[in-house]
Structure 1
Amino acid sequence: MTIDWQKEVDARKDALLEDLQNLLRINSERDDSKVTSDAPFGPGPVAGLKHMLAYGERDGFVVKNVDNYAGHIEYGEGDETLGIFGHMDVVPAGDGWDTDPYEPVIKDGKIFARGSSDDKGPSMAAYYALRIIKDLGVPLSKKVRFVVGSDEESGWGDMDYYFKHEEKPDFGFSPDAEFPIINGEKGNVTIRLTFKGGNGVDYQLISFKSGLRENMVPGTATAIVTAASADDAASLTASFETFIKEEQKISGHAELSDQTVTFHVVGKGAHGASPQSGINAATFLATFLNNYSFAEGAYSFINTLAEFVHEDFYGEKLGTAFEDEKMGKLTMNAGIVNFDPANPENSLVTLNFRYPKGTSAEELQEKVQKTVGENVTATQGGRNQEPHYVPADDPLVETLLQVYEDHTGQKGHEQIIGGGTYGRLLKRGVAYGAMFPGYTDTMHQANEFMALDDLFRATAIYADAIYRLAK
């Protein structure tokens, strides 16, 4: 059977775009303060999940909602199941947007909105690919299950719950990365640094706040400091203004009120898997404050950030640097940076490591603890995802690369990334698109976008891939 997949996509462009815009209007950020039994990650993620599943019901698929944690849209019959994994939750919009992040805007051939490239746009491309298969009545020998998640950007509690109630597909892909393919993903673990209470005499750190998520480079940072005198506070403010002028990578300002100075720093947000692509506002602010005499917990907090974390994208200062020939270098991102002397349990720095095979979360924790010393406590926080790899000669990888080559005329090749996708949920699972080589990465950043041509081209590739894998 010969099918012009791009022609089929072109016939559905308007419908695809309308459905995507409606989905992007949903603020599906996780909000733990509003968790209920019906909204396990807050109202936003479940709204996105239900909206996506409603498309499946509208279009005549078999649909199942698994207690508002996750769900699936299913087509076909067979002893084997091809899984496609997308997610409706998004990271917080943050600051710096030129438009409303939850009112999609189409400009210069791109659609701007939070989630446009991670992962609502690619998920919609994969969904419409499956819809084309169904519309054409293409005979399949395998079942195809499009699994929709709602907690990919946080703890993956959606998939933990889903797979307690549903069988895992036999193989599959996640449209949540880039082409030609991602068949390897580094390990992913967060080491949390906690600090004792206490402050200084000459200068006191009243608060320090930066970061929205562990897997985002903090684009802004704010700190409040009191000095021993109004003159010292004025001198501190003047020094900060000089610091900002000299540092070409950041901007910022200080507000002086008697003996209190409030500092604001603006860097550049980025995906935590590529911390070198961002400018961590928190660590820059810490390098400035490290020139002044703080004490106890405040000193440990500032000094640790300035001496061991600032621009240490590969763990060299922390003593955790590691590289594997196939998977590349370990990376580290300081995502959440907070200091609260009144509540020491809230004073922490999260170090999110993406590590290759050959090291382990336990080894990283031990090395970090040795480096930061006894006044700081290093513990593992949350899930540890070990490195994942599907060999290049696996039929899944070979088929997906062939589809990519046939549609683009470009040679396919394996890739390994620091980002973690749902592809790693399956032993034979990979990430596949929807971003093409040379794309501008705006995931987890302000003014996130997806090029419409890429959206439609990816849809055709997904349709052909589903057909070849399940026919």
Structure 2
Amino acid sequence: MTINYRAEVDKRKDAMMEDLFSLLRINSERDDSKADKEHPFGPGPVKALEHFLAMAERDGYKTRNIDNYAGDFEFGQGDEVLGIFAHLDVVPAGSGWDTDPYEPTIKDGKLYARGSSDDKGPTMAAYYALKIIKELGLPTSKKVRFIVGTDEESGWGDMDYYFANNGLKDPDFGFAPDAEFPIINGEKGNITEYLHFAGENSGAFKLLSFTGGLRENMVPESATAVFTSDSNLADLQEKLNAFVAEEPVTAELSDDKGQFSLTVYGKSAHGMSPFAGINGATFLAKFLNQFDFDGAAKDYLRIAGEVLHEDFYAKNLGLAIVDEKMGELTMNAGVFAFDAASEDNTIALNFRYPQGTDAQTLKAGLDKLQGPSKVSLSEHEHTPHYVPMEDELVSTLLAVYERQTGLKGHEQIIGGGTFGRLLKRGVAFGAMFPGYTNTMHQANEFADVEDLYRAAAIYAEAIYELIK
């Protein structure tokens, strides 16, 4: 039986896009200020989860909501289980959008919305792929479990809870539609480490606060410092104008009765590719370093503006490492929080590291820094993950990709972390194609509409090849 999967997708294009639009309209950013027992990551992720499960029930699946952390449904028959892991949460929209990030807009074939490429668009492509198999009544020898999480962009608390409380055996193998084609069969390790500083400071300049960054896995698009000074606004503005003329940033400076507020604007990017962004926080610190700060503030600004500034590979920290298969370690200085009244101010450093090092080795290097009072580690660490090319999961997915596209498949290893690594035999598969413009975690995030349809066809054939 020969199936034209692309033709089957085309029959459902309008319905797929309608369902995707309804999901994209839900602001599913994590909001800890509104988190409670019923909303572990805030109301937005729960709303998206409930919406998705209602859609699945509409289509005839028996769904489960695992205490608003995650949800799933199953399809097919058999002892072995293919897991499809997607996520419904998104990173904060931030500023700089040309459209409303939560009102999907198609322009020149591109679908603009927060989550369009990461990960609601690919999630819907995979969902409709399974829907095709179900509606065609194709026979299966294995089950599919479609699992959606609500905390992928932060601490993966959703999957920790899901695996501990869902009551079923883990899937035997699986993929996450949350990266790119032809396949991601290797992922670097991922750990966030925190530099801690005291807050008391004095001098001709006194730092009252320094804030920047929305998530540890995002390059800070902007940062703001509030400080007092014996200088005047005109002198500071002149120095700022000269700085901005030489650097790829913009800035705003104001004075409120001797209390200055300075914001520097850069460009956000995904934390796995810090070199693709412009870190507003480290540029802000670089500018402030020329002034007479003292104490903890001086250390904080020196570390941020000199040591960490554009140190994407942690060379200044003495932590640079390159692995032949997995490539180089990268570091994103992602979240900055300084308050003069606090005794515990932090800089969050998100490391994506290859084989050959580990979190404790990185910490030992950071412990040597002069200035921070201590170094601590995130509770959540992902060690390097790799599924060999000869694994049947990898070879099957690549064969389908090659048939559908006419392009040669090959392995890829990334610094990003996907739910593919939740299983020993787990990978990321699509939905972005070679040569795509990566706008994940950035303003004006988009997915190419035609690429979503192409991905759905690939997913449909791939799922069926794995479970037939």
TM-score (norm 1): 0.98
Question: How far, CA to CA, are the matches of 1:415 and 1:226 in structure 2?
Answer: 50
5+ residue gaps, structure 2, are: none
- Match of residue 9 from structure 1: 9
Question: How far, CA to CA, are the matches of 1:276 and 1:375 in structure 2?
Answer: 25
Aligned residues: 466
Q: What secondary structure does 1:455 align onto?
A: helix
Question: How far, CA to CA, are the matches of 1:204 and 1:15 in structure 2?
Answer: 58
Question: How far, CA to CA, are the matches of 1:36 and 1:285 in structure 2?
Answer: 35
- Match of residue 358 from structure 1: 356
Question: How far, CA to CA, are the matches of 2:27 and 2:235 in structure 1?
Answer: 43
Q: Percent identity?
A: 61
Question: How far, CA to CA, are the matches of 1:191 and 1:37 in structure 2?
Answer: 28
2:446 is the alignment partner of 1:449: yes
- Match of residue 275 from structure 1: 274
Cα deviation for residue 83 of structure 1 reads 0.4
Cα deviation for residue 37 of structure 1 reads 1.4
- Match of residue 173 from structure 1: 175
Cα deviation for residue 381 of structure 1 reads 1.7
- Match of residue 149 from structure 2: 149
- The CA deviation string for residues 161-193 of structure 1, in whole angstroms up to 9 with x for no partner, is 111123210000000000000000000000101
2:418 is the alignment partner of 1:416: no
- Match of residue 428 from structure 1: 425
Question: How far, CA to CA, are the matches of 1:392 and 1:407 in structure 2?
Answer: 19
- Give the counterpart of 1:349 among 338, 347, 350: 347
Q: What secondary structure does 2:71 align onto?
A: strand
Question: How far, CA to CA, are the matches of 2:173 and 2:372 in structure 1?
Answer: 47
2:118 is the alignment partner of 1:103: no
- Match of residue 327 from structure 2: 328
- Give the counterpart of 2:366 among 368, 371, 389: 368
Aligned pairs for 1:13-412 within 5 A:
13-166=13-166, 167-228=169-230, 231-247=231-247, 249-345=248-344, 347-370=345-368, 372-373=369-370, 375-412=372-409
On the 8 A contact 1:241/1:253 being kept in 2, the answer is no
- The CA deviation string for residues 70-114 of structure 1, in whole angstroms up to 9 with x for no partner, is 011210111100000000000000000111110101111011100
- The CA deviation string for residues 266-292 of structure 1, in whole angstroms up to 9 with x for no partner, is 100000010010000000010111111
Q: Which amino acid aligns with 2:142?
A: K
On the 8 A contact 1:233/1:260 being kept in 2, the answer is no
Q: What secondary structure does 1:321 align onto?
A: coil
On the 8 A contact 1:404/1:412 being kept in 2, the answer is yes
On the 8 A contact 2:299/2:371 being kept in 1, the answer is no
Question: How far, CA to CA, are the matches of 2:325 and 2:6 in structure 1?
Answer: 35
- The CA deviation string for residues 218-245 of structure 1, in whole angstroms up to 9 with x for no partner, is 00111112112xx445322321121111
Runs of 4+ in 1 over 4 A off after TM superposition: none
Cα RMSD for the two superposed structures: 1.0
On the 8 A contact 1:219/1:266 being kept in 2, the answer is yes
Cα deviation for residue 141 of structure 1 reads 0.1
- The CA deviation string for residues 134-179 of structure 1, in whole angstroms up to 9 with x for no partner, is 0000000000011010000011111011111232100000000000
Question: How far, CA to CA, are the matches of 1:303 and 1:356 in structure 2?
Answer: 28
Q: Which amino acid aligns with 2:448?
A: A
Question: How far, CA to CA, are the matches of 1:398 and 1:123 in structure 2?
Answer: 22
2:463 is the alignment partner of 1:469: no
TM-score (norm 2): 0.98
5+ residue gaps, structure 1, are: none
Q: What secondary structure does 1:128 align onto?
A: helix
2:439 is the alignment partner of 1:437: no
Q: Which amino acid aligns with 1:437?
A: P
Q: What secondary structure does 1:349 align onto?
A: strand
Q: What secondary structure does 1:217 align onto?
A: coil
Question: How far, CA to CA, are the matches of 1:129 and 1:299 in structure 2?
Answer: 55
Cα deviation for residue 374 of structure 1 reads 5.4
Cα deviation for residue 257 of structure 1 reads 3.7
On the 8 A contact 1:25/1:103 being kept in 2, the answer is yes
Q: What secondary structure does 1:344 align onto?
A: coil
Q: Which amino acid aligns with 1:254?
A: L
Question: How far, CA to CA, are the matches of 2:466 and 2:6 in structure 1?
Answer: 18
On the 8 A contact 1:227/1:233 being kept in 2, the answer is no
- The CA deviation string for residues 302-330 of structure 1, in whole angstroms up to 9 with x for no partner, is 00111210000000011110110000000
Q: What secondary structure does 1:301 align onto?
A: helix
Question: How far, CA to CA, are the matches of 2:260 and 2:25 in structure 1?
Answer: 39
Question: How far, CA to CA, are the matches of 1:234 and 1:250 in structure 2?
Answer: 20
Q: What secondary structure does 1:21 align onto?
A: helix
Q: Which moved more, 1:47-56 or 1:460-469?
A: 47-56
Q: Which moved more, 1:51-60 or 1:427-436?
A: 51-60
Question: How far, CA to CA, are the matches of 2:254 and 2:398 in structure 1?
Answer: 55
Q: Which moved more, 1:62-71 or 1:373-382?
A: 373-382
On the 8 A contact 2:186/2:414 being kept in 1, the answer is yes
Cα deviation for residue 378 of structure 1 reads 1.3
